[in-house]
Amino acid sequence: MKAIRLEEPGRFAAIEAEAPAPPGEGEALVRVRRIGVCGTDLHAFRGKQPFFTYPRILGHELGVEVVELGPGVSQVRTGDRCSVEPYLNCQKCIACRRGKPNCCAELRVLGVHADGGMRELICVPARKLHASRTLTLDQLALVETLAIGCHAVERAQLEAGEAVLVIGAGPIGLSVIQFAAEAGARVIVLDVNAERLAFCTRQLGVPHVVDASAGDPLEEIRRLGGGDLPTVVFDATGNPGSMAGAFNLPAPGGRLVFVGLFQGDVAFNDPSFHRRELTLLASRNALPGDFTRIIRLIEAGRIDTSPWITHRAPLSGVVAAFPAWARPETGVIKAMIEA
């Protein structure tokens, strides 16, 4: 079975992997048709991804087709096209028992802690498959990216009309933007990349963008808020400087949500944090219901995924194409691998 494996930072290899065993109780064997490339994969390629070991078969944003079902599976059928929820949880720990499987104490994420989808076939728990009869394989592969933003917005408990700042206009930031707008928020986007800011304006209809490379953005953000800072700030950068600076941007009584992460510590000024009585939230992965909701929204035409995919390659072309995707000047929003 053909697979692409990240052997070490900066080096992929095409390998012959062992084919999966027949699916067991509650499992499904699926053929991988689409693999989205996200920040996690790029960070792993650069050697900067937390919770990661090498070698590893990457790929957790998957559009798949069901090939074979194990005993006891009834929620999907052979031939179904599905998005994969790549978070393998134990179903027994306190987080799982309390309805938070995304932060399971024993969590293993496909493509991060366990080998993922950059291969022809993979066996997964059937409960992790979310089928659609109408979505394309591209759309199904984008559901996981969108789910990260969906869950982050749920964590913030946005109210319609709230002023929201999204820091970072990469794929995760874009997914936050989509669901903040869906919730009725007034969105401002902050980034250092002019092309990505233009994408937000042109493709997502974001009314206000701020170029952080032009100087201190604080006063421009305040001006756009009519003198007020935003009540909710999402940092989707995974950049330690940005995350530390983000504590200065919520209004008094506001919320700061860290969607991106990095290997290290975040420091903040405690008196300033307490004076404004800020709420700090982490957002990790997504919940099963997020996948269901997103599929329904795309099916209903309320989320348009067509602008997202800017680059493509076949599975056989990943070794050659991936290094360019990792360079910001390439202009990648979302690369899609066709298997």
Q: What average pLDDT does range 237-253 have in this prediction?
A: 96
Rounded CA separation 218/215 (Å): 9
Domain at 149-282, CATH homologous superfamily = NAD(P)-binding Rossmann-like Domain (3.40.50.720)
Kindly tell me if the per-residue pLDDT of 192 is higher than 90: yes
Cis before 55? omega within 30: yes
Closest CA to 119 of 266, 3, 255, 10: 3
Q: What does the pLDDT look like over 199-209, one tens digit per residue? A: 999 999 999 99
Q: What average pLDDT does range 188-206 have in this prediction?
A: 95
Q: What does the pLDDT look like over 252-280, one tens digit per residue? A: 999 999 999 888 999 999 999 999 999 99
- Report the percent of the chain where pLDDT is more than 70: 100
pLDDT at 329: 85
C-beta of residue 221 within 8 angstroms of C-beta of residue 249: yes
Rounded CA separation 326/9 (Å): 12
Average pLDDT, the chain: 96
Q: What does the pLDDT look like over 274-287, one tens digit per residue? A: 999 999 999 999 99
Q: What does the pLDDT look like over 102-123, one tens digit per residue? A: 999 999 999 999 999 999 999 9
Kindly tell me if the per-residue pLDDT of 215 is higher than 90: no
pLDDT at 214: 87
Q: What does the pLDDT look like over 128-178, one tens digit per residue? A: 999 999 999 999 999 999 999 999 999 999 999 999 999 999 999 999 999
User: Which whole-number Å values give the CA distances from 213 to 121, 190, 194, 199, 300, in the listed order?
Assistant: 44, 10, 9, 17, 38
Q: What average pLDDT does range 193-219 have in this prediction?
A: 93
pLDDT at 263: 85
C-beta of residue 187 within 8 angstroms of C-beta of residue 180: yes
pLDDT at 326: 92
C-beta of residue 112 within 8 angstroms of C-beta of residue 52: yes
Rounded CA separation 14/4 (Å): 5
Rounded CA separation 164/51 (Å): 30
**The pTM is what?**
0.94
Q: What does the pLDDT look like over 4-22, one tens digit per residue? A: 999 999 999 999 999 999 9
The residues of the chain that CATH labels 3.40.50.720 are 149-282
Rounded CA separation 121/29 (Å): 7
Beta-carbon contacts of 282 under 8 Å, excluding residues fewer than 6 positions away, are: 257, 258
The listed range with the strongest mean pLDDT (37-41, 234-238, 302-306) is: 234-238
Pairing mode of beta strands 27-37, 163-167: unpaired
Q: What average pLDDT does range 39-64 have in this prediction?
A: 92
pLDDT at 144: 97
pLDDT at 274: 97
Beta-carbon contacts of 123 under 8 Å, excluding residues fewer than 6 positions away, are: 20, 21, 23, 24, 27, 28, 29, 30
pLDDT at 222: 96
Domain at 2-131+308-338, CATH homologous superfamily = Medium-chain alcohol dehydrogenases, catalytic domain (3.90.180.10)
The residues of the chain that CATH labels 3.90.180.10 are 2-131+308-338
Closest CA to 205 of 180, 229, 222, 227: 180
Taking each continuous run of H as one helix and of E as one strand, the counts in the chain are 10, 17
